[in-house]
Amino acid sequence: MSTHVDGGNVVGATHHVNDTGVASGVGTTALLVAAARAIETHRHDSLAQDVFAEHFVRAAPASAGWPTRLRQVPDGDANPLWGRFARYFGLRTRVLDDYLLQSVQATGARQIVLLGAGLDTRAFRLDWQPGSVVYEIDRAEVLAFKHGVLDGLSATAQAARVPVPVDLRADWVTALTDSGFDPAAPTAWLAEGLLFYLPAAAETSLIATVDRLSASGSALAYEVKLEPDLLTYRDSPLYLSTTAQIGIDLLALFAKEPRPDSAGALTNKGWSTSTHTPFDFTHHHGRGPLPEENDALAGNRWVFANKH
């Protein structure tokens, strides 16, 4: 297949690749985020650009029929999934892009670890400092699908990119350090759209491990859902439309147990943390989702942590 990057678009026919990792279960959520990023990329008032995103969507049979442009959605912005929820992912992408770039600038960190990387293309999209290494941790099948798509595009990473195929409920530290990660050097960590899929004990352990592997100067951003009972919003437009339109029942995939206080745990370990609603950034950027009745996003928080 002949493909090249041209004027911000990746040009070329997308071929179908082995989609085992994203065909069902939590892997499909990576395709959902990719479709949202594709839509965001082509908005006139785009908050984030990801020219690779639509290629993932086209390559997987599970998502090949999904929209990658808002004009393909009959009710456009009024659609709870491809309008408001996709905009949420666009805003999240932008905010975390900005945080990572500001963090590596401020701290000098040259190691970036994407936990539950999914179809995140930040290794390709962002302008990393020379000598940076981006470690991408996800399940082997998800990374295999990702590589099957990226290999067909003439994409050039802006940093050394190291895939780390491992389950985050297993011993991922050995896999990461065997891949060259250096715990003595500061790291910028990201857990975007991940923690609510993990059992509470796995989140607690993951946060403690991130702390243990973080030298002074490290930074971490992650997303949580703080509502005491996720099922409060089970009949919200967001959950209902995601199930009805693309067959992804997010509530079935989320871990239902009470969540740990990860920000508190980090504070106790000497990190400074700040917790924001997505809507804080909607106001900052002048676009993005706003609160609404029966809102499945009501408990979402983005947490930013820095180790001194």
Residues that bind ligand SAM (CB under 6 A): 26-27, 29-30, 33, 116-120, 138-139, 142, 167-169, 192-194, 197-198
Residue nearest to ligand SAM as judged by C-beta position: 118
Given its phi and psi angles, is residue 12 left (phi above 0), alpha (psi -120 to 50 degrees) or beta?
Answer: left
Task: Return the number of the residue (83 or 165) whose C-beta is nearest ligand SAM.
Answer: 165
Closest separation between CB of residue 190 and ligand SAM, Å?
A: 7
Using the 8-state DSSP alphabet, how is residue 14 labeled? P
Residue 262, SS3 per DSSP: helix
What's the CA gap between 34 and 57, in Å, rounded? 7
Which of 128, 212, 204 minimizes the C-alpha distance to 176?
A: 212
Q: Which amino acid is at 51?
A: V
Task: Return the number of the residue (209 or 217) whose C-beta is nearest ligand SAM.
Answer: 209
Q: Six-digit token pair at 121?
A: 């293309």
Using the 8-state DSSP alphabet, how is residue 22 labeled? G
Closest separation between CB of residue 267 and ligand SAM, Å?
A: 24
Residue 205, SS3 per DSSP: helix
Task: Return the number of the residue (80 or 116) whose C-beta is nearest ligand SAM.
Answer: 116
Task: Return the number of the residue (114 or 266) whose C-beta is nearest ligand SAM.
Answer: 114
Closest separation between CB of residue 170 and ligand SAM, Å?
A: 8
Task: Return the number of the residue (78 or 170) whose C-beta is nearest ligand SAM.
Answer: 170
Closest separation between CB of residue 270 and ligand SAM, Å?
A: 26
Closest separation between CB of residue 162 and ligand SAM, Å?
A: 15
Closest separation between CB of residue 216 and ligand SAM, Å?
A: 26
What's the CA gap between 307 and 183, in Å, rounded? 13
What's the CA gap between 308 and 50, in Å, rounded? 32
Task: Return the number of the residue (134 or 168) whose C-beta is nearest ligand SAM.
Answer: 168
Task: Return the number of the residue (120 or 211) whose C-beta is nearest ligand SAM.
Answer: 120
Closest separation between CB of residue 304 and ligand SAM, Å?
A: 16
Sign of the CA dihedral running 83, 88, 91, 94? negative
Task: Return the number of the residue (157 or 215) whose C-beta is nearest ligand SAM.
Answer: 157
* Residue 188 · residue 100 · CB < 8 Å: yes
- The radius of gyration of the chain from alpha carbons, rounded to an integer in Å, stands at 18
Using the 8-state DSSP alphabet, how is residue 288 labeled? S
Closest separation between CB of residue 227 and ligand SAM, Å?
A: 18
Please enumerate in sequence order all residues whose Cβ is within 8 A of that of 178, keeping only pairs 6 or more positions apart, or say none.
none
Q: Tokens 């975007």 appear where?
A: 192
